[in-house]
Amino acid sequence: MFDEKLQQIKAGGLYRHLKYLQSPQSAHVKMAGEDFLMLSSNSYLGLCADDRLTQAACDAIEQYGTGSGGSRLTTGSYDIHKKLEEEIAAFKGTEAALVFNTGYMANVGAISAIADKNWVIFSDRLNHASVIDGCRLSGAEIVVYAHCDPADLESKVTQHPGRQGLIVTDGLFSVDGDIAPLPQIVEIARRHGLLLMVDDAHATGVLGDNGGGTAEYFGLQGGIDISMGTFSKALASEGGFVAGKRALIDYLTNTARSFIFSTALSPATIAVSLAALDIVRTEPALRKTLLAHCAWLRAKLRAVGFAVPDHPTPIISIVLGRPDVAVDFSERLMERRIFISAIRPPTVPAGTSRLRINLMATHTKDDLTQALSCIEDVGRELGVIKA
């Protein structure tokens, strides 16, 4: 049975295999003994091998040992879990925050605890899978609105008057690198008395003067009822969080099943998140460099003929359409020691397979120039841009 299903996956060009790294998740990585220029990492600030973070992990292991030994509500809560939650709340400008073991678990746990079958959830068509899974698990009626389209959201909301409801959107979309139109969405939520949840997994540490994310980018701190984010991307650690009013956080602590029924993150992981948060707050130059890299590479890719949209974010998508073309492009780049993954369904809708470039603050101009030249060569070989 599984063989047959695997054959179908392979026939559709959608088979995936794991690639094993042998070095930290940095601008350059080692794989099968060879060096690759990494352009597919979510470690946007390039902090995974930062000495301050590795030292924080070592110190925490010395002090607390390795595993946390239990779920947060039994024996697994440490003073540094509390400290991280207080710091995240201050960072996001909310009353309180709750740390989950992953961003996926934060979305699934929070949404399914907040909404039930009597609710309606308005969800952007391109929201992350963990948001979608949380919506499904809640049992609420799910109304999908057109991607980043406040007019469509408004029209869908008005078709469900008087319902208890939630609007949920990614802040920075991980697939196209575009930013949700939060000012309009906040206004719609307020006017219709709906709660608003923003998944800021990719914007936390990246957007806004202090790295506070999409709400800070738009000057809307305080306008988001449920602020979700991760430590797993710019913060070079692991885990997710939800920040909001004290009552919301107390409620989630008592009801979010992915929080209650899972062993807490290890003290070492929490210590790394704390150290990374400190760097995010105190080193805005990292963000500036990252976004400057991004503007440079986007402009150059457009100049050689790639259709690359203009978003002020570190995610650059080159849409290629068919999955086999995306895989071929990625493999040819790998032969040139450039690591850029092909992104295919179910991560993206059918017909929109692509290369997704994720930049890091620690890439150099030479790295970017080399990447550009290889992407251009392969683009010409495959006829994606004119020869």
Ligand X SMILES: Cc1ncc(COP(=O)(O)O)c(C=O)c1O
Nearer to ligand X, 110 or 294 (CB): 110
Q: Is 174 a catalytic residue?
A: yes
* Cβ atoms within 10 Å of 84's Cβ, excluding its own: 24
Catalytic residue, candidates 81, 192, 233, 293: 233
Cβ contacts of 379 within 8 Å, gap of 6 or more: 304, 305, 306, 329, 385
Catalytic residue, candidates 174, 232, 317, 341: 174
Q: Apex CA 301: angle with CA 293 and CA 368, to 5°?
A: 40
Cα–Cα distance between 296 and 298 in angstroms, integer?
A: 6
* Cβ atoms within 10 Å of 253's Cβ, excluding its own: 16
Contact present, 211 and 87 (Cβ < 8 Å): no
Q: Which of 40, 43, 68, 174 binds ligand X (CB under 6 A)?
A: 174
> In terms of residues, how long is the chain?
387
CB of 234 to ligand X, least distance (A): 11
- For 43-61, the DSSP string reads -TT--TT-HHHHHHHHHHH
The 46-85 contact track toward ligand X, x by CB under 6 A, reads: ----------------------------------------
Question: How many Cα neighbours within 13 Å face the side chain of 18?
Answer: 2
Bond into 181 cis (ω within 30): no
What values do phi and psi take at 315, rounded to 5? Answer: -110, 120
Q: Is 363 a catalytic residue?
A: no
Find tokens 């929490």 and name the residue.
270
Q: Which of 199, 216, 367, 376 binds ligand X (CB under 6 A)?
A: 199
Stretch that binds ligand X, among 77-85, 97-105, 135-143, 185-193 (CB under 6 A): 97-105
Q: Is 201 in the site for ligand X (CB under 6 A)?
A: yes
CB nearest ligand X: which residue?
103
Q: Is 230 in the site for ligand X (CB under 6 A)?
A: yes
Q: Is 147 a catalytic residue?
A: no
Q: Apex CA 44: angle with CA 217 and CA 268, to 5°?
A: 110
Q: Which of 46, 103, 244, 323 binds ligand X (CB under 6 A)?
A: 103
What is the CA 334 to chain-centroid distance, rounded? 24
Stretch that binds ligand X, among 196-204, 214-222, 282-290, 309-317 (CB under 6 A): 196-204
Q: Is 109 in the site for ligand X (CB under 6 A)?
A: no
Nearer to ligand X, 154 or 178 (CB): 178
Q: Which of 46, 76, 212, 240 binds ligand X (CB under 6 A)?
A: 240
**Number of residues lying near ligand X (CB under 6 A):** 14
Q: List contacts with ligand X (CB under 6 A).
A: 102-104, 107, 128, 130, 170, 174, 199, 201-202, 230, 232, 240
Just list the catalytic residues: 174, 202, 233
